[in-house]
Amino acid sequence: MDYEFIYSFKKPQLTGNWFLDLNPLTKLNIVIVIAIISILSLSWQVSASIIAFYFLLAALAGCLKRFSKMYIKLGLLIGSLLFIMRAMFIPGDHPLFTFWLFTITQEGIDKGIWFSTLVVSICGAIVLFSTITRAKDFMYALENLGAPHSTSYIILASFQSIIDLGDRAKLIMDSQKARGIETEGNLLQRIKAFIPVMGPLVLGAITSTEEKAIAMEARAFSAPEKNTHLSELRKVPLWEKLFVLLVNISLILFIIWRFI
């Protein structure tokens, strides 16, 4: 038997990377502060620097590849859409050039750059947080704050249900195709194909909740005891607390400097 694996649960499960091993709430605090700075700065230069900064943080956490893969695609898509919309439609006194119905103005371009960098920087906070934080660690941190363990169940079971239902949907769609139900064809045919896939899927899932409830009840799901955890987070060390304090003080200083 793999005792090394079993006994690894005796200690908090750390990765050895100081940034990844921060408490999930510390990470949340950091990304929120970054997002607020981006919003309050009202400057595209700040937002753009923050976007670059995320890559640094991701590299620090050793997740640069995973983060970049998701964020670059997303950032380019959302950023360019938001920029083009503003560049095309926002009127102003400094027209640059005109084509067809549209007049591109300096104001449109400026607003476009500012807004797209802002939104992309806020998106980055969310993407970074989800890249460097495991859902179960985050839920565990919330439980420590007093959230009932049913919240953890709901969130974590949602992830698994999405996988399970997705697999079943594929299965049903394949069998529908095999039985000759048109899943391509014209719009009406495709809408009609939705029902025989979704119907059995949803009904099966809803009726299975009864067995699930019984199974979880057998595992003492609603036992009155305060539950313990096999896999624990480490106690937040002093330096991490000071670090959070420092981050939050910098935010306050930034606000004072910016608005007073």
Between 230 and 256, CB nearer to other proteins: 230
Between 18 and 153, CB nearer to other proteins: 153
Between 73 and 241, CB nearer to other proteins: 73
Q: How far apart are CA 258 and CA 2, in angstroms?
A: 56
Amino acid at 131: T
How far, in whole angstroms, is CA 114 from its chain's centroid?
Answer: 23
Residues 6+ away with beta carbon under 8 Å from 27: 129, 132, 133
Between 48 and 125, CB nearer to other proteins: 125
**What are the CA-CA distances from residue 124 to residues 82, 178, 249 (Å)?**
15, 43, 22
Least gap, CB of 74 to other proteins (angstroms)? 7
Least gap, CB of 242 to other proteins (angstroms)? 29
Least gap, CB of 108 to other proteins (angstroms)? 10
Q: What share of the chain is helix, strand, coil (3-state, %, to 5)?
A: 75, 5, 25
Least gap, CB of 7 to other proteins (angstroms)? 7
Q: How far apart are CA 64 and CA 172, in angstroms?
A: 37
Between 6 and 255, CB nearer to other proteins: 6
Between 95 and 246, CB nearer to other proteins: 95
DSSP-assigned letter for residue 224: S
| Residue corresponding to tokens 């439609």 | 89
Least gap, CB of 198 to other proteins (angstroms)? 6
Bridge partner list, 250:
none
Residue of 207, 187, 189 whose CA lies nearest to 199: 207
Least gap, CB of 69 to other proteins (angstroms)? 12
CA 97, 102, 107: angle at the middle one, nearest 5? 65
